[in-house]
Amino acid sequence: MAKKRKICAVVTARPSYARIKTALAAIRDHPDLELQLVVAASALLDRYGSTIDTIRAEGFEPDAEVYMVVEGENLVTSVKSTGMGIVEFASIFDRLKPDAVLSVADRYETIATAIAGSYMNIPVVHVQGGEVSGSIDEKVRHAVSKLADLHLVSNAGAAERLRRMGERPDSIHVTGCPSIDLAAAVANDGGQPDVSFMHKGVGAEFDPQDGYLIVMQHPVTYEWESALQQVTETLEAIIEYGFPTYWFWPNVDAGADALSRGIRKFREKSRLPNVHFLKNMPPEEFLRVLIRSRCIVGNSSVGVRESAFLGVPSVNIGTRQRGRDRGRNLVDVGHERGAIRDAISRQVDQGHYEPDHIYGDGGAGARIADRLATEPLTIDKRISY
């Protein structure tokens, strides 16, 4: 009987779990693969929603946990968190001895995973490489791609960018994005959201049947000193528009502390009578909430990826998603409350759009597992110029 390939997947945050969940399940269930799961960084922290609780509740048991987030949410702590991640992942990989390390997307935890795997001569598999976006995320994503040995990308445009970057064409495979698998399942099953998740958190209570917005706004690393001013403009726009709103807490990035402080200041002054704040919910439940929303507002990639597939109107604020492949559902605005409010109004009046399948068709998880079972898991030793 052939030895199973051990695939070590690292989940570091609320969005990275949703981005890789169906691939984790497909790897776990594949006869030729063994899943090793490492949960790290903000995925372990209560103030970011304790994603690890969701992971366990959905049937995945971590092989290791890595606490690596340095308090402060500024440029210095981001660097220190990355360094701590490299140190901790090295010890974990040495113990687990995987045949490949699976690294997801473009965060600082992702590059820590790729650096540790590369320097330990473990093949690195990168999911969602080759894409374009604003802020330091794009640099991180392309750096991880250069460290990676196998590339499993969301679309043909991403594959072409990797080829132009000098990556071997036979190492690049278009699988689609696993988060679209979840969106497709939710779109097809017609299930209603579990309202118990929608009433967790703090803030205004309202009947979701009457319609609502979703806000997901994260700090931009290159603009972290402006995080407070930027979120204030969005808060004022939401207050002026006056529509019931579910607001999800920001990611752990430089500027998150100032952004969170701005939200708390508005809450303490009771200026948000129409907003309910949430930390986290299981990925499918979130997508059920998303598909029934009137519009998603902010700068999360959800407004670009899953919302395009589901046809949910999206108002994208600022530069964080600049350059990403996008669908007809999205309009861009700057950090100015009047422009944000007017864009929300137009999108709500527009209603849902026809779906765009830019990032996949719903079968990415199975394709990723099949590639991991059949592709050579070797270190790329080629020298390119």
Question: Which tens digits make up the pLDDT trace of 240-264?
Answer: 999 999 999 887 777 677 778 888 8
Percent of the chain with pLDDT over 70: 98
How far is residue 30's CA from residue 380's CA, in Å, rounded to a whole number?
25
Q: How many CB atoms are closer than 10 A to CB 228?
A: 18
What confidence tens digit (pLDDT) does each residue in 73-122 have?
A: 788 988 999 999 999 999 999 999 999 999 998 888 889 999 999 999 99
Q: Can you give the pLDDT at residue 385?
A: 44
Residue whose C-alpha is closest to residue 38's, from 10, 4, 13, 14: 10
Reference 300, options 330, 273, 336, 342; nearest CA is 330
Rg of the chain (C-alpha set): 20
| Residues 6 or more apart in contact with residue 287 via CB below 8 angstroms | 182, 183, 186, 306, 310
Domains of the chain: 5-176+363-374 (3.40.50.2000), 185-350 (3.40.50.2000)
pTM of the entire structure?
0.89
196 burial via Cβ count (<10 Å: 0-12, 13-18, 19+): exposed
Per-residue pLDDT of the chain (385 residues; tens, 9 = 90+): 679 999 999 999 888 898 899 999 999 999 999 999 999 998 998 888 889 999 999 999 999 999 999 987 788 988 999 999 999 999 999 999 999 999 998 888 889 999 999 999 999 999 999 998 877 888 899 999 999 999 999 999 999 999 999 999 999 999 999 999 999 999 998 778 777 777 788 888 888 888 999 999 988 878 878 888 999 999 999 999 999 999 998 877 776 777 788 888 887 777 788 999 998 888 899 999 999 999 999 999 999 999 999 999 999 999 888 888 899 999 999 999 999 999 999 999 999 999 999 999 999 999 999 999 999 888 876 655 4
Contact 263, 245 (CB under 8 A): no
